[in-house]
Structure 1
Amino acid sequence: MKEFAQNARSAEKEMRKVFPPTPVQHNAHLSARYGAEIWLKREDLSPVRSYKIRGAFNAMRKTLADDPSRTTFVCASAGNHAQGVAYMCRHFDVKGVIFMPVTTPQQKISKTRIFGGDNIEISLTGDYFDETLKAAQSFCTEKGAHFLSPFDDTDVIEGQASVAVELLEQLPKPPDVIVLPVGGGGLSAGVFSYFKAIGGNTQLIFVEPRGGANFTAALRAGQPVALDRVDTFVDGAAVAKLGENTFDVLKTVDPTSILTVSEDRICATILEMLNIEGVVLEPAGALAIDVLQDIQQIIRGKTVVCVTSGGNFDFERLPEVKERSQRYLGLKKYFILRLPQRPGALKEFLNMLGAQDDIARFEYLKKSARNFGSVLIGIETKNADNFKDLKERMTQAGFTYRDITEDELLSEFLI
């Protein structure tokens, strides 16, 4: 393990020839909210706006040192690793073939092209990362190219460990707690290995999205297992299966130190950081901050570092983020309302709305052969408690309604 720590420090030193350290910034807003000293390790401020540049640099550097004749590198990525590889392909002046899921946000695709320039070509393949990964590996087998894993590679893990090297140099003393987002496990494995090598009392807390909790599943099964279904909203961490190499490192982690958070709540955190702090984070980049509300008792009075892993946010997604945030906070609901087909019925309903209630959506299907028509109505309000009063007024007035806000199937088709 001492060798791992030395290699990580060497990798971090070599990185300084390419890009500066990302800052560790004290956050007064979060510190006051949670009664702790909260610091953010701003990986979203790297040249490619994520920590992935570290693993890509280290793996390519070591591969080229071993085989200078290597000319082509291949990767599969939902975006951040792709940008890191593209950036390094231009730096080392080698060719890169980058496979990305078809569902990758356009912002990440465009930035990858910008970073790689003429040194790369992009292939959009598969709806999910694991399909993309298989296509990239098949290409490598066919062409004899070198595959650069986004996380399941010892050199990549070593490169990601440089996050720990930097933050320990930047803080006056080791933090009490470090919060790490988990996708494929490369960052977590690197930081975990580094602290295991150097010792100390820093506690590591791992957080993954509820719709992609592959670390939790792997520890429960005793080996990496593929999730049956992955929610791709947190695209930077939407990986169906933890890496074999990363699991080998992380298999001794205490399961109680792994937490999962809902995708909708992450949206509220993204908006909070954007509106209050002016910090742009992608969903995976907000994971470590979002989970603070679940560990308030653990971190109170302590020094905490949250790794904000990425800031590649496509602002075309902002309406969706706002929608999911409002629904999570209880500030927006959708109802199917049975409206009597008589004059004045709609006016009667509208008069029930409070001063803070606003109609965000209204679709009325009138069928002349029936006494009632169905209305899909979306309502926004300033206070979640207002919906309790509205429901009581609708019930007392004899209106029949159904709250479909949390009905996943109906929401998918109607909202």
Structure 2
Amino acid sequence: MPHRYIKKILEARVYDAAIETPLDEARGLSERLGNRVLLKREDEQPVYSFKLRGAYNRMAQLTDEEKARGVITASAGNHAQGVAMAARLLGVKSTIVMPKTTPDVKVNNVKRLGGKAVLIGDAFDDARRHSEKLMDEKGLVYIHPYDDPDVIAGQGTIAMEILRQESGPIDAIFVPVGGGGLIAGVAAYVKYLRPETRIIAVESAESACLALAMEKGHRAVLDQVGIFADGVAVAQIGENTWEICKDHVDEVITVSTDEICAAIKDIFDDTRSVTEPAGALAVAGLKKYVAREGARDETLIAIDSGANVNFDRLRHIAERSELGEQREAIIAARIPERPGSFKTFCKVLGKRNITEFNYRYSHDEQAIVFAGVQIRPNNDGREELLAELHEHLDAVVDLTDDETAKLHVRYMVGGHAPASLDNEVVYRFEFPERPGALMKFLSKLGGRWNISMFHYRNHGAAYGRVLVGMQVPPAERDQVIRFLDEIGYTFYDETDNPAYKLFLG
């Protein structure tokens, strides 16, 4: 089966639209992983994704009659841009059906390129069904995003470039997988010329349709598809792509959202480019492979497949990357409700940097805190932290792998104070952010007044910001001001702040 694709790949018409992208060494990753890591930079294509290759090659085969009818496709966004650009270059009208969840950056680029954007449904398969309906109604030519021999051949030109750019031995090539067009083209070409090179598919754990097919031995449909990595959010591997993948893909690695976010950070650190979640899949899988196999001194290639990400998603990605790198542990702990408990808790943490600290008074005898703590980037770092906490505290819960805690609870810790809490005053502080800054702040604050509320989050900014509630009798209010002046940090009295009164007071 793959043999018939070799000629199609060699003759593929992609370079009227696409460019030959560089194969760059990721120096930071290479040094850290002890292997030679190369990135195939498909994020540098004119539409910031490899999809232009397959779309243009398929549309270059259209007859004049088909061009006159116009084309239609369904896409999670990247293929959409490829079709829109190819249509503009070929003078063809294009209709692009995308899920409503498609990032705005992709939708806007489709419109900019002259495509007609139709948004429907929440996932790719909703868009696919609607596109097929429009195709029948209007007589349009369907340009499949992955399950078409000419699309597969277009994507296969990436493999042709890789083998030309890296003439030495290649131990493994890591390929992101959605519907399978990219990995089918790469596997067909590489396994024909260099069968010793491992082809490793990488899928999001939320949309692992190739892994499901490999497990069952046939194409199957996922019950549910997550859309964090929207570029690969496909419920079933393609028919044509499966025929190649089942015999020529060596293995499938699935990765979590946190691992994808960590890989986005890795790529940024080495290239100063920001990939989309699907674009970083291959690097996430490569890292997991190296950790599992203990690989050393190998040449490993990851296809950086796209960079179409909404700017407003970057905050979420940045926060999850620390967890994906296993550099942060999220814990809940029960401590005594008395002055000085915060300081004692921080002493237990030692020199580890606190990234977040949430607390709200709720009980006279005990307090429950929610904290983020920086750890060494491996499981031993977390186990060591938990062992030390269990040695000094009665109740500690590890929430690092708890999705509800990471997505919701960490932002909801708090609530109104109980009726038994009296004499609360609230201050907002700013202090220079450096390792150990929070511990120094708590040491200066001391244990004179009971802390009834505390919120701190290390955002990597120059200044740390803390919101503190303390129980201070009216007769001691002047003493508090003098004491805070002595500490020397900028502070603001927020006791009458309307947000505090509405949600926390």
Partner of 1:334: 330
- Alignment equivalent of 2:280, drawn from 286, 304, 309: 286
Query: What residue number does 2:313 align with?
Result: 317
Partner Cα separation in structure 2 for residue 397 and residue 173 of structure 1: 55
Which of residues 161, 164, 173 in structure 1 aligns to 2:159?
164
The equivalent of 2:76 in structure 1 is 78
Distance 2:232 2:54 in 1: 16
d(CA) in 2 for partners of 1:105, 1:281 = 13
* Whole-angstrom distance in 2 between the partners of 1:345 and 1:300: 46
Deviations 1:30-85 (A, max 9, x none): 444444443322111111111100111011111245734232x2121111111111
- Equivalent residue of 1:333, what SS? strand
Q: From the superposition, tell whether residues 214 and 390 of structure 1 become closer, same or farther in structure 2 (CA, over 3 Å).
A: closer
CA deviation string 1:281-305 (max 9, x = no partner): 2222222222223444586444433
Q: Which amino acid in the other structure matches residue 360 of structure 1?
A: E
Structure 1 residues 351, 210: closer, same or farther in 2, change over 3 A? same
- Do the aligned partners of residues 205 and 396 (structure 1) sit closer, same or farther apart at CA in structure 2, a change above 3 Å counting? closer
Specify whether residues 226 and 348 from structure 1 end up closer, same or farther in structure 2 by C-alpha distance, changes over 3 A only: same
Identity fraction in percent: 35
Partner of 2:470: none
Quick one: distance in 2 between partners of 1:334 and 1:137?
46
1:128/1:68 Cα in 2 relative to 1: closer, same or farther (>3 Å)? closer
Does residue 260 (structure 1) correspond to residue 254 (structure 2)? The answer is yes
Q: 1:183 to 1:371 in 2, by over 3 A?
A: same
Q: 2:301 aligns with which of 283, 291, 305?
A: 305
In structure 2, distance between residues paired with 1:269 and 1:406: 18
Q: Is the 8 A contact 1:5 1:198 kept in 2?
A: no
TM-score by length of 1: 0.86
Q: 1:365 to 1:83 in 2, by over 3 A?
A: farther
Contact 1:168/1:174 (<8 A) preserved: no
Deviation for aligned residue 1:107: 2.2
1:101 corresponds to: 99
The higher-RCO structure (CA 8 Å, 6+ apart) is 1
1:362 aligns to what SS in structure 2?
strand
More displaced 10-residue stretch of structure 1: 271-280 or 51-60: 271-280
Cα–Cα, structure 1 residues 33 and 351, in superposed 2: closer, same or farther, change >3 Å? closer
Structure 2 CA distance for aligned equivalents of residues 29 and 359 of structure 1: 24
Decide whether aligned partners of structure 1 residues 373 and 64 sit closer, same or farther in structure 2, where only a CA change above 3 A counts.
farther
Q: Indicate conservation of the 8 Å contact 1:237/1:284, yes or no.
A: yes
Alpha carbons of 1:178 and 1:390: their partners in 2 closer, same or farther (altered >3 Å)? closer
The two structures have a TM-score, normalised by structure 2, of 0.72
CA distance in 1, matches of 2:168, 2:407: 49
Structure-1 separation of matches of 2:242 and 2:103: 28
Distance in 1 (CA, whole Å) between partners of 2:93 and 2:354 is 54
Deviations 1:191-225 (A, max 9, x none): 22234555654332222222221111112222211
- Aligned partner of 1:214 among 209, 218, 231: 209
Q: 1:361 to 1:205 in 2, by over 3 A?
A: same
For residue 9 of structure 1, what is the aligned residue in structure 2? 10
SS of the aligned residue for 2:350 comes to coil
The CA RMSD measured in Å over matched residues stands at: 2.9
In structure 1, the residue matched to 2:24 is 25
- Structure 2 distance, partners of 1:106, 1:62, is 30
The Cα offsets for residues 94-121 of structure 1, whole Å up to 9 and x where unpaired, read as: 222212222222222223322x2xx322
Checking the alignment, whether the CA contact within 8 Å between 2:72 and 2:96 is kept in structure 1 is: yes
Query: How far off is 1:357 after superposition?
Result: 2.8
Q: What stretches of structure 2 of length at least 5 have no aligned partner?
A: 411-505
Please name the residue that 2:242 is paired with. 247
1:228 aligned residue (200, 220, 223):
223
Corresponding residue for residue 119 of structure 2: 124
| 1:42/1:410 CA distance change after superposition, 3 Å | closer
Q: Quickly say closer, same or farther: Cα 1:30–1:147, change in 2 above 3 A.
A: same
Contact 2:72 2:131 in 1 (8 A): yes
Q: Distance in 2 between matches of 1:404 and 1:164?
A: 42
Match of 1:49 in 2: 48
Deviation at 1:412, TM superposition (A): 4.3
Partner of 2:500: none
Aligned to 1:379: 372
Q: Deviations over 1:162-192 (max 9, x none)?
A: 1122223333357443222211100111122
2: CA distance between counterparts of 1:249 and 1:89?
A: 28
Comparing 17-26 with 378-387, greater Cα deviation is found at 378-387
Counting matched residue pairs gives: 405
Q: Which runs of 5+ in 1 are unaligned?
A: none
Alignment of 1:125-140 (within 5 A): 125-140=120-135
SS at match of 2:248: coil
Give, in whole Å, the separation in 2 of the partners of 1:301 and 1:35: 6
Partner secondary structure for residue 401 of structure 2: coil
Q: Return the index of the structure with the highest Cα Rg.
A: 2
In the alignment, structure 1 residue 404 sits paired with structure 2 residue 399 = yes
Alpha-carbon distance between aligned partners in 2 of 1:361 and 1:105, rounded to the nearest angstrom: 32
Equivalent residue runs for 1:187-202 within 5 Å: 187-198=182-193, 201-202=196-197
